Amino acid sequence: MAGRLLLMGLDPGLRRTGWGLIAAEGNRLGHLGHGLVTSDADAPLAERLRQIYDGLSAVLAARRPDAVAVEESFVNKNPASTLKLGQVRGVVLLAPAVLGIPVWEYAPNQVKKAVIGAGHADKTRIQAMVARLLPGAAPDSADAADALAVAICHAHYGRGPLGLARLAERAA
């Protein structure tokens, strides 16, 4: 399983869930695509969650990644926002699981460390470094850039012996 792996990063959000797909082959990373799955801000919460699920399921079915990495939530000061984000994360974790795609999770500081080299950086710096690490990638939104950063993080941390064993199980 040392060949080319398609890794998708996801940055959960109720308004915009970012996705980014990279190819990882050895130490080389390549950009394959990125985008956003959005929901209608005027719709009820259940409908918005369905929109995120349906949109993300379509992206996953079309792109067929070998693994998905999701950014873990941080706690907001607003409990209602934290709860809604948790519900979106549930949908984002469920969509690849339903398709049998292995899912990993990474803390925001671990993602930043993998991309920037330090655990603290603003979204502008993340976006610039993602474009530098993935030639040809020009994410026009912070959400898509964050998703690509999560995929890069997984390429660095998630492909060790345990991660490769999980992918080999899926291929069997």
Query: Are the CB atoms for 14 and 39 separated by under 8 Å?
Result: yes
Catalytic residue among 11, 42, 122, 169: 11
Asked if 169 is an active-site residue, the reply is no
C-alpha 143/C-alpha 141 separation (Å) is 5
140 labelled catalytic: no
Q: Which entry of 66, 122, 143, 146 is annotated as an active-site residue?
A: 143
Q: Which of 40, 66, 71, 122 is catalytic?
A: 71
Backbone angles phi, psi at 125, to 5 degrees: -70, -40
The dihedral over CA atoms of 93, 120, 153, 48, expressed in degrees to the nearest 10, equals 20
143 counts as catalytic: yes
CB-based burial of residue 152 (10 Å sphere; 0-12 exposed, 13-18 middle, 19+ buried)? buried
Pick from 89, 48, 40: which is nearest to 69 by CA?
A: 89
Q: Which segments of 39-125 are extended strands (E)?
A: 67-71, 103-106
* Residues belonging to the active site: 11, 71, 143
